[in-house]
Each structure stands twice: as structure tokens, then as C-alpha cells.
Structure 1
Amino acid sequence: MSTHASSHGTPPAARKIPPGAIRAYIASLTGTSLEYYDFAIYSVASALVFPKIFFPSGDEFVGLLLSFSTFAIGYLARPIGGIIFGRLGDRIGRKHVLVVTLLLIGIATVLIGVLPTYGTVGAVAPLILVLLRLAQGIGVGGEWGGAVLLSSEFGDPSRRGLWSSAAQIGPPAGNLLANGALAVLAATLSNDAFLSWGWRVAFLASALLVVFGLVIRLKLEETPVFKNIEAHGERPKAPIAEVIRTQPRGLAAAILSRLSPDILYSLFTVFVAVYATKELGMTTGTVLTAILIGSAFQLVLIPAAGALTDRFNRRLVYGIAAAATAVWIPVFFLTVQSRSVVVLTIGVVVGLALHAFMYGPQAAFITEQFPARLRYAGSSLAYTLAGVVGGAIAPLVFTALYQATASWVLIAVYLAVASVVTIVGLAIGRDPKTEEELALVKADEAG
């Protein structure tokens, strides 16, 4: 890997911002933030609320596993969304698909907020919860690829790390909003009130957020890259099949690169909430606050990391963060045994910072593995398939490993293996090739 970005003549700071880029960046950022708010409140609720009200069991561990299983279903459904919306994104355009995914996730989340509990309607409650979680996952599976392309295809291709980071800010921003809402509710309500109706407020509030995001997206134009592809009659007829047939190396590189950041994020935003409260005896409010602070730092670190990889080799920066992850996990678990709130908070902040330095450039790296005409399908397929073997099963694996051994050691080994796999993916991937995008943008401006 070279240690510098390829040069395009004009210094990055001197380049003009392309028309529509700022609006597209904001649309990508706000849309994914709102959708991941919906996804994040489910993640936290699956650890703290749902085992008690939707999966009652005499064994608390069994209830937790059942709840995490519905969490995993959201990830397992993502490839369905990636296939459906990835194909449509390369066939009919980015904008229309992103409106549909926003509505799909928003409606599902609001319905979860009014869903009766197991005590009211019995087994029907968890069944409907699974179906709504499925809808959430399908929506997120189609959302990510389009949101990345929305900002990156309006932006300067030689600064793709920065422009594509808009969609990457969505998860921590959504997580910040979700954990903030849940932390306030948990702090102001009694435990009984929070379990009875308080958690529903966070789900129902997403209705207002989705309306706001919808208004922004409906005002957008189609990206210049897609318009040029459409004008030249280069839209693929079967983009998913073509990606699998012609881009196997790029697909493998993109999938493998996702594993370490995906699993790491699940550790510090889902499992830590269980571990710190159940095993260390810390309060729910304390843990949520630590995650809140870590997510706040990510809002700055993610675009900074993306921009950094526009100056230095993207794969190198990404790979260093993956290697550092393998080192940090045992340090975190060793130090957090002190049960110190400060130590826990620092540990979570550092963990999410390492995630930021992988996740920030991740969107640019993944999209660079595919040609522009197959980029929505290829990126969506890679992103969602990686989620199945990464974030989908990670909370279940964490819980099972700890339950079987009463130790965090195997969890650290799990993260170390994921880091190695990610580094392998980076090694077989390709560096940026922006000439084709620059040509498409110039042709659009000339036309």
C-alpha cells in the first residue's frame, strides 16, 4: 500500500465545492441519522427492555438471547433490502429509492411504539415485533448504498473519503439521538414506568424525524453521475447478477473490510450495555451516558477520518485502526473491572474512536471496488452480506461466549480474528480510481 493519496493536480483545499454537493451531504447525513435513530433505539431496547416485556422467561439469559435474536433478524433482512433496492438504485436512480427506504423504516418503528406486550396479546406480540424488525432491516439494507452515493456522486471524486462520510455519520448521530432519548426517559421515570410506557416515547418520536427527512429528500435532484449513465444508455439490466459475475474480487474485499468495524460497533453499543449493568453492577443511565459521549466524539472523528484518507492511503489508515482494535479490546475489559464510571466512559470513547477510523473511510473504500454503473448494487450487496456475519450475530456470540466461559477472553479473541479478516479484505481491495467519475461529472456539466 502506498502512503499517499493519488494526485489530481489541484490541492484539495483549493478545489471548488461542486453544485448541489452541500445539499446532498445534508440530505445523506440527516436521512441516515433519522433511519439509524430508529434502528438504534431498537438495539438498546433489545438489551434493556424487550427481554422483559416481549420475551418473558424464567431464565433471564434465555429472554436476552430471544431478544437479541430479533436484533439479528434486522441484520439478516438487510441483504433482502440490498438486493431489492440495490437493483432499483442502479436501474431507476438513487433519489426515488431513498424516499421509499425512509418511509419503510419510519412506519415500522412507529408501529413498534404502539405494539401490545406479551402480557396483553401473548405470542402474537413477539411475532409482530419480528415482522416489524424485518421491515426495518430491509429498509436499512437499501438505504446505505444510496445515501453514500447521494453525497459522493455530487461531491468531488478525489475527495470521496470526506463526501461519502455523510452517510457514515448517520449511525453515531442516530445512536446519539436514540441513547439520549432513552437516557432522559430512564433518568426521569421510575423503572416500572419506563418498562410500561416510557420506552415507547422514543419509538413514536421517530414519526416527526422521518417527516423532516422526507421533506429534504423530496427536494433533491438525481445525482450527476447517474444522470450521465442514464443519458448514455449504460444502466445495467441485471445489476446484482452482473456484480456477482464480473466483480468477485471487489465484492469479497468490500465484505471482508466490514467485519471488524461492524462487530466492534455491536460490542460498544449493544453488549457493553448488558455487560456493565449485569456483570459490573453499573446503572443503565451510566452506561447510556458513556455510549452517548462516545457517539458525540464520532460525529467529528468519522468525517475527519474520511478526509484523512483522501490525503493518505485509504487502506493503510483503515488497516491501522483494525489492528489497534485487536489490541484495545483486552485493555478495555481489564481496566473496566475497576467499575469506575470514568474508566468505562474512556474505554467506550476509545473503542468508538477506533470504529470511527474504520467506518469513516469505509463508504469510500467499498464504493471504489465497483464501477459507477454497478455501484448501488455492489455496495449494497457487500454492506448487507457483511452485516449478516458481522453485526447480526455479534451480540448473540458475545452473550454465548460469556455465558459459557464467564470470561471476556474469547470475546477479545473474536474481535482479534475479525480484525485480521478485515485487514485481509483491505489487502485484496483496490485503491481509488477517480478518473471515470471525474469524466462523468465533467460530461454532465458540459451537457
Structure 2
Amino acid sequence: MENIGQATHERTKSLRRAIMGSLVGTSLEWYDFFLYGTAAALVFGDVFFPSYDPLTGTLLSFITFAVGFAARPVGAVIAGHFGDKIGRKKVLLATIMVMGVSTIGIGLLPSYATAGVIAPILLVTIRLIQGLALGGEWAGGALMIAERAPKERRGFLTSFVQVGASIGNLLSTGILLLMSSALERDDFVSWGWRVPFLLSAVVVVVGIYIRLKVTETPAFDVLKESGTVSKSPVLELLRRQPLDVLRVIGIRAGADIMFYLLITFLLTYISKTLGLPATVGLTAAMLGAGMQLLTYPAFAALSDRFGRKPVTIFGAVGAIIWMIVAFFPLVDTKSVGLIILAVLVGLVFHSAMYGVQAVWICELFDAKHRYSGASLGYQLAGIVGGSLAPTIAIGLLQIFGSTTAIIVYVCIALAIVAVTAAFTRETRGVRMNDHEEQQAAETSVRA
């Protein structure tokens, strides 16, 4: 009995460390990634593409934003391969170090006025490196929790990876809001925007320290001890579960499109089209990120009770209704309060989709190629969804001169989420790991 109690205590301690390691590390990684997107909307057009009109300059900066998404599937393949061969922990340490160094590099870049065309070339190069690092981060963080968590609370606990994304968004938006509010526009464009990027030098050290203390997942340990680690996990994934990769893309892409419309495109729309201060959009984004610290775990907990599928469909259908009926009409009033309301309600429905994704995606794949499957599906969806969403939205606004086409675009993407979710198998309560049988046996003995 004493040995059983000790084993349970050790597993609980290990789970807590995994949650903290994933939460902090993912927060830092997404801080870096969101920081780029927000800066692209606010300042990169002036710093790196000053010879174009404001909207075109912003469009070009959003194209560099999309480059990071294009690199993420490559990073997913690399990280997935090694994460399924040598372990989740080692890969996660590498991703956070690469992400931190590349983000500091952006803060040190010369402007177009100083270095000419070299400046945007360097920006694109570093953005590619950022994308490679993030390509392997999300799935590794999710698996560090999901492969340890008890199945009855797996959705709730794994959602803290998604909370990490929200914390990263909150921190990046908040510090840019602070800098843009405290400085004159010329000072912000000249040097103020660099400060948030350089701060990564401090926070990345914290992330590395915490991740060094996290142990490998039980699922991978079982594979390693039994000698069943896959030699070619990506090829095995594509041979055995290609449809599940497509399902992940279908579930994810529409939610991504909606999110980047609310967070990234809206910053440009508010400042360039409506003529409002950029702080309005930043405030709405920051409040939304703060709200999602609660809504992600809440919807994930509901999925532990009612299933991954119904919660996701609720989010997609609710988002469609909100986009058609209320979103842009509220934003176009130019009322700060109504703009914030439009964003917050939209992000509630987004939370229902995104909060459930971490656990659902992990549960869909076999342990031998789970890192590869979760990484590749998630990051391919990012290309189809978030990478092009701000650029497409700006293009539609330029072509049609109204937001109607943007609404149609987003609603089609959300409808694909609902349909894909309806035809994807429910995974709530599935056994992900061999050690779960041991846990159940120990629980029975204690009873």
C-alpha cells in the first residue's frame, strides 16, 4: 500500500511539473509569435516597407507574418520525427531556445532606412526560424500533459497548453499597448517596438530552467523500454492515419481564421479604415486574451463531461451566427465599448473550438507517431487558416470595399469546422497510455 501511495504521489508531482513546464514554455513561445503579428499590424509597414502606402505596407508585413506559418509544418515534421524517436522533452528544450534567440534577433534588426532591402530580407529569414521552432512546440507541450493526465480530466488539464497561448497573446499585446501609449508615434516606430522583442532574453531563461526539471512522458518511456519506438514516425503516420491528419486540419483551420481576424486583422481595420487609435484594438485583444484564460479550461472541462465533438460544433455554429448578425455592425459603430463586446463574444465561441483541440488532437493518434500527427495536422491547419487570414481579409476589403466578403470567407471556414467535427470520431475517455491500466489497478486496490 505504501509503495502504491508513493507511486501515485510521484505521478501527481510529475503531472504538475509537466503542466507548469508546458504552460510557461508555451506562453513564452506564443508571446514571441504573437508579438510579431501585432507588430506587423502596427509598425512593421513603417519600419521595413516605408516606400509603400500604409495599407500596402501593412499587407507586405502580413506576408512576412505568413512566412512563419509556412515554416511551421517543416518544423512539425522535424520535431515530430525526433519527438517520436528520442523523446518529447529534448525537442521541447530545443524549440524554446531557438524561438528565444530568433525573437531577440528581430529586436536587433536594422530598419529599411538604415540597411535598405537587407532589412526586410533579414526579417523574413528570422521569421522562418521562428516558424520552425513553433512548429514543434505546441504538440510537444500538449503531449507532456495529455500522456500523463487521468482520462476523466484529460481535456481540462491539457487545455493549459491553450491557456499558454492566451498568456502569450496577453503579454505581447499588453506590452505593445503600454509602449505605444507611453511613447510618441515617432519614438515607438524608431525604437519602442524593439523593447518587447528584447525582453525575450529574460523570459526564455525561465522557460528553459522549468523544462529541464520535467521528466519524459510515461507513454514514450513505455515505447522506449519495449523497443517499439518508430524508426520513421512521419512515414508511419502518413501510411496509417492520413485521414486523421486531414480531420485535424478541418477542425483547426476555421478556428484559426476567426482568431486572426479578431486579433490581427482587426488592429489594421480599426486604425487604417475606421481611423481609430491602435490602442482600441490592442485593448480589445488584451481583454479577450485575459478572458480566454478562463474560457479555454471551462470548455475543455465541458468536453470531459459531454465529449469533444459537441463542444466544438457549438463553438463553430455560434461563431457563424455571431459573425453574420453582429460582429462588424458593432465594430463599425466606432464605439470602443461595442468593439470590445464584438471581440469578446467572438472569442467565447473561438474558445469552445480551440480549448478542446489540444486533447482531441492528441487522442486521435497512436503513441508511436503521436508527436508527428499532432504537430503536422496542427501546423498544416495554420497555413490554411491563420497564416493567410489577415492578408486575405485585407485583400477582400480592398477589392470589395466592404466587410461582407470577409464575413462570407470566415463563415465558410467555420462551417467546415462544424462539418469536420461531426464526422470525426469522439475520443473522450479513450486510453492513450499503457500506464493507465496500472493506475486503474492501483485505484481498485486502494478501494
| TM-score, normalised relative to structure 1 | 0.94
CA–CA separation in structure 2 for the residues paired with 1:85 and 1:316? 31
Q: Does 1:232 align with 2:218?
A: no
Q: Distance in 1 between matches of 2:128 and 2:50?
A: 21
Task: Decide which moves more: 49-58 or 377-386.
Answer: 49-58
Aligned residue in 1 for 2:3:
none
Shift of 1:49: 0.5
Per-residue deviation, 1:366? 1.0
CA displacement at 1:16 relative to structure 2: 12
Q: Which amino acid aligns with 1:148?
A: A
Q: After the TM superposition, which residues 49-60 of structure 1 pair with which residues of structure 2 at under 5 Å, given as runs? A: 49-60=43-54
Identify the residue that residue 173 of structure 2 maps to in structure 1. Answer: 179
For 2:345, the aligned partner's letter is V
- Alignment partner of 1:364 is 2:331: no
Give the gaps of 5 or more residues in structure 1. Answer: 1-14
1 CA distance for matches of 2:180 and 2:189? 9
Number of equivalent positions: 433
What residue number does 2:5 align with? none
Q: Is 1:87 aligned to residue 43 of structure 2?
A: no
Preserved CA contact (<8 Å) 2:50 2:112: yes
**Preserved CA contact (<8 Å) 2:95 2:136:** yes
Contact 1:18/1:156 (CA < 8 Å) preserved in 2?
Answer: no
Alpha-carbon shift at residue 340 of structure 1 (Å): 0.4
Q: Indicate whether 1:198 and 2:195 are aligned.
A: no
> How far 1:259 sits from its partner (Å)?
1.2
| 1:326 matched to 2:320 | yes
Equivalent in the alignment of 1:342: 337
Task: Report deviation, 1:159.
Answer: 2.1
1:20-31 correspondence to structure 2 within 5 Å? 20-31=14-25
- Contact kept in structure 1, 2:218 and 2:433, CA below 8 Å: no
- The one-letter code of the counterpart of 2:163 is I
Percent of residue pairs identical: 43
User: Which position in structure 2 is the counterpart of 1:419?
Assistant: 414
Q: Deviations over 1:117-159 (max 9, x none)?
A: 0000110000010010001011111101100001111211332
Residue 430 (structure 2) pairs with residue 428 (structure 1): no
Q: Structure 2: which 5+ residue stretches go unaligned?
A: 1-8, 443-447
Structure 1 residue ranges (4+ consecutive) displaced by more than 6 angstroms after TM superposition: 444-447
Tell me if structure 2 keeps the 8 A contact 1:89–1:146.
Answer: yes
Structure 1 match to 2:6 = none
Match of 2:278 in 1: 284
Cα distance in 2, alignment partners of residues 177 and 313 from structure 1 = 31
Structure 1 residues 374 and 438, CA gap change in structure 2 (3 angstroms): closer
Of 346, 352, 367, 1:351 maps to 346
C-alpha distance in structure 2 between counterparts of 1:225 and 1:158, whole Å: 17
Structure-2 separation of matches of 1:390 and 1:183: 26
* Aligned residues of 1:302 and 1:357 also touching (Cα < 8 A): yes
Deviations 1:181-202 (A, max 9, x none): 0011111111111100000000
Is the 2:230–2:369 contact (alpha carbons within 8 Å) kept by the matching residues of 1? yes
Map residues 90-169 of structure 1 onto 2, 5 A cutoff: 90-169=84-163
Q: CA deviation at 1:443?
A: 4.9
1:400 to 395, 400, 415: 395
The 3-state SS of whatever aligns with 1:44 is helix
Which residue in the other structure is 1:76 paired with? Answer: 70
In structure 2, the residue matched to 1:256 is 250
1:41-78 deviation line (CA, Å, top 9, x unaligned): 10001111100010122322321221010000010100
2:301 is the counterpart of 1:307: yes
Could you tell me how far apart the structure 2 residues matched to 1:66 and 1:422 are? 29
**1: distance between equivalents of 2:430 and 2:243?**
20
Question: By how many angstroms is 1:442 displaced?
Answer: 4.2
Distance 2:438 2:64 in 1: 47
Tell me by how many angstroms 1:444 deviates.
Answer: 8.7
The letter of the residue matching 2:378 is: Y
Aligned counterparts of 1:99 and 1:58: Cα–Cα separation in 2: 40
- Residue 434 of structure 1 and its aligned partner are, at CA, apart by 4.5
- Cα distance in structure 1, aligned partners of 2:424 and 2:403: 32
User: Take 2:201 and 2:262, find their aligned partners in 1: how far apart are those partners?
Assistant: 27
Q: CA RMSD in A?
A: 1.8
The 1:352/1:435 distance shift into structure 2, 3 A limit, reads closer
CA displacement at 1:335 relative to structure 2: 1.7
Distance 2:10 2:291 in 1: 28
CA distance in 1, matches of 2:11, 2:90: 24
1:228–1:444 Cα contact (<8 Å) kept: no
Question: Conserved in 2, the CA contact under 8 Å of 1:104 and 1:136?
Answer: yes
Amino acid at match of 1:381: L
SS at 1:154 equivalent: coil
Distance 1:58 1:371, change over 3 A: closer
**Partners of 1:225 and 1:441 within 8 A in 2:** no
Aligned equivalent of 1:381, options 376, 381, 403: 376
The answer as to whether partners of 1:85 and 1:142 remain within 8 angstroms in 2 is yes
Is the aligned partner of 1:222 residue 2:216? yes
Task: Compute the displacement of 1:367 (Å).
Answer: 1.3
SS in structure 1 opposite 2:214? coil
